[in-house]
Amino acid sequence: MAAMLKCVMSGSQVKVFGKAVQALSRISDEFWLDPSKKGLALRCVNSSRSAYGCVLFSPVFFQHYQWSALVKMSENELDTTLNLKCKLGMKSILPIFRCLNSLERNIEKCRIFTRSDKCKVVIQFFYRHGIKRTHNICFQESQPLQVIFDKNVCTNTLMIQPRLLADAIVLFTSSQEEVTLAVTPLNFCLKSSNEESMDLSNAVYSEMFVGSDEFDFFEIGMDTEITFCFKELKGMLTFSEATHAPISIYFDFPGKPLALSIDDMLVEANFILATLADEQSRASSPQSLCLSQKRKRSDLIEKKTGKNVTGQALECISRKAAPRRLYPKETLTNISALENCGSPAMKRVDGDVSEVSESSVSNTEEVPGSLCLRKFSCMFFGAVSSDQQEHFNHPFDSLARASDSEQDMNNVCCRKEFNRSDAKYFCII
Amino acid sequence: MKFRAKITGKGCLELFIHVSGTVARLAKVCVLRVCPDSLCFGPAGSGGLREARLWCEVRQGAFQQFRMEGVSEDLNEIHLELTAEHLSRAARSAAGASSLKLQLTHKRRPCLTVAVELVSSLGRARSVVHDLPVRVLPRRVWRDCLPPSLRASDASICLPRWRTLRSIVERMANVGDHVLVEANLSGRMTLSIETEVVSIQSYFKNLGNPPKSAVGVPQNRDLESMVQVRVDNRKLLQFLEGQQIHPTTALCNIWDNTLLQLVLVQEDVSLQYFIPAL
């Protein structure tokens, strides 16, 4: 029995599905189809690993939902379950789910199923009068990634109507990539990122204040200002149009990822975005904060699964690149320096994660033309795999496999970033 | 130097949004001249009249509040250079707002702060603030951004219906780059375009001439004789498509073989667009 997926949807369900695909396309050019007993998950991660999207359709969303995983029987009675490893390109899928309104009106049924023997996904639309449209798309065998992010432990939670967010987004020009969300227990403010405004002398600074009474839910544990890329926010807005459910935002301190979710019983969408780490918070013993967080989480994970935590290394590496102006010395490492650090990092991950120390930080110099001059926390993902042994031996292999294109210079640099050992601290999300 | 102005009322806000939109369509960088009784937009840099240029004046009547203090008592003006698109975007965020405030501020650098008070659909107040970076221009370059003072035009005529004019010029633009604009003081206007292969002419009559047009014209001047100017079609089209106000008065002035001037007036706003002859 091979790993497979088979599901059937009606016209209006296809519209929601198509909107999900469109929303995820804002993050990445590829996504995984990941069926499980919880439902069909569409997952994607962007090339710089600073944004992750997942839309989970529960089994009851579909008219018919069937899935299975491949179970490998082994001698020592440790059966391994291999799920469907299916990665699809947006370029192939987006054109199929175009004109969603007309699809909703005209199709009677849509069937999606996989053919593992041929590494194909088949999408069929059944129209009236016996007309049938079939698409065969080859998929790449690739292990889906997921981020484990516990929304419930976040200090700050907001729930808003999508309309409010849409109104706010319009204020920011497309040339500005980052926005800052500043909250107090009474107030909400979305504004242009200060760092970006400082760099670009001709940039407009905009801010929008909204009273807390405009929110469906407004719980702020502490005054916070966090900065993130809002391109992905637009993706979430696109999807919210399809579900009419409010958007929830979960966040903590700067540096810790922010989650945007929509949950309407049948569909759950989560966008996890990296946020800019604060310089001040770095000075005040972030290491202990992160390590203790990690220990807490690793305890949690260990209790849940009883398996070796390091095998499931879900790491958050904060790139300690300060803006050039303020901290000229502490910027990204030279690529050659990275290569020198390559092997120690590998060893460190194999061992106890909590042993990463300051000494692993290499003296850095500015990399001219370096891509990521901002201190975004990047999320490293564990593979969604029950095969722990495989993961444990080659933790970086699986992460490398998860990256998008080999030729992309961006990715090459990013991968080298992650291989280095000068990350000041590891923390598990 | 101080400047503070406030616009309230749906009509005035919409007009300001259209004005800033028009300026942004026709000029990338503009100069905002704050005068004691008006706000004037002009092109940046001194190109003289060798290129097509837009000037726009918004008189004090468009504002509910208008207070300014210029550079000095005898030079009671402020000249600011800014990116027109920034102002247009900021103004657009005031669509449906209850008020828009303009203020000259200094936040790390000189800014024109646009503060908008919105009322959301649920009746709750929301505020939006934009800080637009501006450059305060030194007095020595002030002369460059004033509209030209010219002798009386050779012919002055009311423009035909805007949509008609625009669609004709649009179609002509597909054929060629130079359009000949002719008008006389008897309400006749002709647009012509000619290439090797085809020639197109559009005749307008009974357009009416503004009353002032007869002033300064010698008595024996033939009212029927056509005054003409050949201009770049694309520039003309840019104005016809880019301008966003709904003028109550729209007229054009022609200086024979020298200059074409289009003038639009709506309430307290006037737009002037000069296109030099080719």
Residue B175 in 3-state DSSP? helix
Work out the pLDDT band at A321, boundaries 50, 70, 90. Answer: very low
Tokens of A409: 């210079």
Domain containing residue B190:
155-212+219-265
| Alpha-carbon distance B112 to nearest alpha carbon in chain A (angstroms) | 10
Domain containing residue A222:
151-196+203-276
Nearest to B126 among A201, A202, A210 (CB): A210
The domain that holds A44 is classified in CATH as: 3.70.10.10
Query: To 10 degrees, what angle do helices A395-402 and A409-419 make?
Result: 160
Q: In terms of domains, do B161 and B80 share one?
A: no
Nearest to A209 among B89, B109, B127 (CB): B127
| Alpha-carbon distance B98 to nearest alpha carbon in chain A (angstroms) | 15
Residue B161 has pLDDT above 70, yes or no: yes
Assess if residue B272 is contained within a domain.
no
Assess if residue B68 is contained within a domain.
yes
What's the pLDDT tens digit per position in B204-250?
999 988 876 555 555 556 778 889 999 999 999 999 999 888 899 99
pLDDT attached to residue A365? 35
- Most confidently predicted of A71-75, A313-317, B17-21: B17-21
Looking at the DSSP assignment, which residues form a beta bridge with residue B259? B255, B276
Q: Considering B103, B118, B144, which residue would you say is the last residue of a domain?
A: B144
B134 or A289, which is more confident?
B134
Q: Is A175 on the interface with B (CB under 8 A)?
A: no
Which residues of chain A are within 8 Å of residue B93 when distances are taken between CB atoms?
170-171, 206
- Closest-CA residue of chain B to A175: B86
| Alpha-carbon distance A94 to nearest alpha carbon in chain B (angstroms) | 31
Work out the pLDDT band at B81, boundaries 50, 70, 90. Answer: very high
Q: In terms of domains, do B6 and B91 share one?
A: yes
- What is this structure's pTM? 0.71
Nearest to B130 among A164, A206, A209 (CB): A206
A408 or B192, which is more confident?
B192
Q: In terms of domains, do A223 and A251 share one?
A: yes
Q: Considering B91, B122, B144, which residue would you say is the last residue of a domain?
A: B144
Assess if residue B149 is contained within a domain.
no
Number of domains in chain B: 2
Assess if residue B271 is contained within a domain.
no
Residue A389 has pLDDT above 50, yes or no: no
Output DSSP code: residue A130: G
Tokens of A62: 């579909």
Residue A18 has pLDDT above 60, yes or no: yes
pLDDT attached to residue A147? 82
Q: In terms of domains, do B121 and B179 share one?
A: no
Work out the pLDDT band at A123, boundaries 50, 70, 90. Answer: very high
Q: In terms of domains, do A121 and A227 share one?
A: no
Nearest to B131 among A171, A205, A213 (CB): A205
Q: In terms of domains, do B135 and B166 share one?
A: no
Q: Considering B144, B178, B201, which residue would you say is the last residue of a domain?
A: B144
pLDDT attached to residue B14? 93
Average pLDDT, chain B: 88
What's the pLDDT tens digit per position in A200-222?
677 888 899 888 888 888 888 88
| Alpha-carbon distance A163 to nearest alpha carbon in chain B (angstroms) | 10
Could you give the CA distance from residue A96 to residue A78 in angstroms, rounded to a whole number? 41
CA-based nearest residue to A230, from A200, A191, A268: A191
Assess if residue A326 is contained within a domain.
no
Work out the pLDDT band at A167, boundaries 50, 70, 90. Answer: confident
Q: Say what the ipTM of the complex is.
A: 0.82
The domain that holds B121 is classified in CATH as: 3.70.10.10
Query: Which site among A206, A213, A215, A218 would you substitute to test the B interface, given the most B Cβ atoms closer than 10 Å to its Cβ?
Result: A206
Q: In terms of domains, do A36 and A110 share one?
A: yes
What's the pLDDT tens digit per position in A239-258?
887 788 899 999 988 888 99
Assess if residue B90 is contained within a domain.
yes
Number of domains in chain A: 2
pLDDT attached to residue B45? 75
- Closest-CA residue of chain A to B82: A202
